[in-house]
Amino acid sequence: MAPREVSSIEVGQTYLELHHQLHRHVDQVMSAAGLSLARAKVLMRLSEGGPMNQAKLAGILGFAPRSVTDTVDALERDGLVTRTEDERDRRARIVSVTPAGSDALEAALLVRSKVMDEIFGSLPAADRAVLVDLLRTVKTNFPSGENSCAQ
């Protein structure tokens, strides 16, 4: 069977469209379960990287430093993070996940897994195997410099 001619732009566009749809759906389901994707991402980065100041947190998330303030404020109000003084820089505050924050993140990740399962589970097993192989190939062929630029 001769394959239809598909440009890499078309693949990229389809990939991004699916991500947009996925992102919105996951956010809706997670928000309904109590933790928006934006808040879950902040908790995730803090869980992975340990306690850190807001400037570093914003950097990892790719936002301007002040842009994470609202999210961190909301998480603090809900008791999911705490802020303590940074001994090395008195103007900065160190943000840490609380035990309640870890529980909320775990629950949110479970919800996300269920949504992903529902979405990619719509493909037959053979197609899932092909899709994961193609995605891994793209990941492996990624332009060089990607990892060396990572923080």
Residues at the contact surface with its own copies, assessed by CB under 8 A:
3-19, 21-25, 27-28, 36-38, 62-64, 66-67, 69-71, 74, 113, 115-123, 125-132, 134-139, 141-143, 146, 149-150
Report CA 6 to chain centroid distance, whole Å. Answer: 29
Radius of gyration of the chain from its Cα atoms, rounded to whole angstroms? 19
Query: Least Å distance between CB 99 and its own copies?
Result: 25
> Is the CB of residue 29 less than 8 Å from the CB of residue 111?
yes
Of 4 and 91, nearer to its own copies (C-beta) is: 4
> Is the CB of residue 95 less than 8 Å from the CB of residue 80?
no
Query: Least Å distance between CB 24 and its own copies?
Result: 7
Query: Least Å distance between CB 31 and its own copies?
Result: 9
Of 103 and 117, nearer to its own copies (C-beta) is: 117
Of 37 and 57, nearer to its own copies (C-beta) is: 37
Query: Least Å distance between CB 80 and its own copies?
Result: 15
List helix spans (H) across 33-150: 37-49, 54-61, 69-77, 99-120, 125-140, 146-149
Cα–Cα distance for residue pair 11/5, rounded to 1 Å: 11
Place of tokens 């919800």: 111
Of 33 and 74, nearer to its own copies (C-beta) is: 74
The residues that bridge with 52 in the sheet, in sequence order, are: 95
